[in-house]
């Protein structure tokens, strides 16, 4: 993206990468927390959610600084809007991961009983979400230099989102067919929806970069 050189490419490029790394940390910690719950280790799960929340706060801090940097300079209004939208959608992945973590904490605090097989399904969803964010990070790392590699990485992000969609429908079905009480069903369903929403936000990030590439003929 030679066109981005006029807009402090190094600063914005490193900023978007640092932001994505913080977002990746939230997804990774969510996966670790859910894996811990599948093993019956609530203490480890709580520690993971606490680290996740700290990573989400860091992602927010980087987002604010990055959007301020993008908003000034020589880019057109539409380019600035698209890039800020990209950063904010990336941050939504962390926000939804935090939302899932808060539901996990509520499940623990309310002593809701969730079968191990349900926890394993949720852990699988979070693992796929982590993979999606890794591909999103690869998009960020390649979009400054190689549009063809970037498009391939965007395709991988989209593939992961479709995988998570399939897992979402399977998990929702198993939750409603389980013998969990209504309170547990509600909390687990909301947790599942948060992971699925995080995956949707990741796909939206890739779509935004695609628009930028097309608009610049890259």
Domain residue ranges of the chain, discontinuous segments joined by +: 2-215
Burial 190-216 (b: 16+ CB within 10 A, else e): ebbbbbbbbbbbbbbbbebbbebbeee
Structure confidence at residue 3 as a pLDDT band (50, 70, 90): very low
What pLDDT score was predicted for residue 1? 46
Q: Which of 191, 53, 177 is CA-nearest to residue 110? A: 191
pLDDT for the residue numbered 4: 47
**DSSP, res 112:** -
pLDDT of 124 strictly over 60 = yes
The share of the chain scoring above pLDDT 90, in percent, equals: 74
Which class is domain 2-215? mainly alpha
160-189 pLDDT per residue, tens: 999 999 999 999 999 999 999 999 999 999
pLDDT, average across residues 116-135: 97
The pair of three-digit structure tokens given for residue 169, joined into one six-digit string: 């429908």
Q: Is the pLDDT of residue 82 over 90?
A: no
């Amino acid at each position: 993206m030679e066109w981005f050189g006029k807009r402090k490419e190094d600063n914005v490029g490193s900023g978007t990468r640092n932001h994505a790394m913080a977002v990746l940390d939230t997804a990774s910690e969510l996966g670790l927390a859910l894996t811990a719950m599948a093993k019956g280790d609530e203490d480890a799960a709580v520690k993971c959610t606490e680290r996740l929340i700290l990573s989400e706060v860091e992602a927010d801090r980087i987002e604010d600084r990055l959007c301020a940097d993008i908003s000034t300079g020589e880019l057109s209004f539409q380019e600035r809007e698209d890039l800020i939208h990209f950063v904010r959608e990336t941050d939504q992945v962390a926000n939804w991961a935090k939302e899932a973590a808060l539901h996990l904490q509520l499940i623990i605090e309310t002593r809701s009983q969730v079968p191990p097989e349900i926890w394993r399904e949720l852990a699988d969803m979070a693992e796929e979400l982590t993979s999606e964010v890794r591909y999103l990070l690869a998009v960020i790392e390649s979009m400054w230099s190689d549009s063809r590699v970037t498009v391939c990485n965007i395709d991988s992000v989209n593939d992961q989102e479709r995988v998570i969609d399939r897992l979402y429908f399977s998990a929702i079905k198993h939750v409603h067919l389980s013998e969990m009480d209504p309170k547990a069903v509600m909390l687990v369903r909301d947790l599942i929806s948060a992971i699925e929403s995080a995956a949707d936000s990741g796909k939206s990030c890739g779509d935004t970069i695609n628009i930028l590439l097309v608009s610049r003929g890259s």
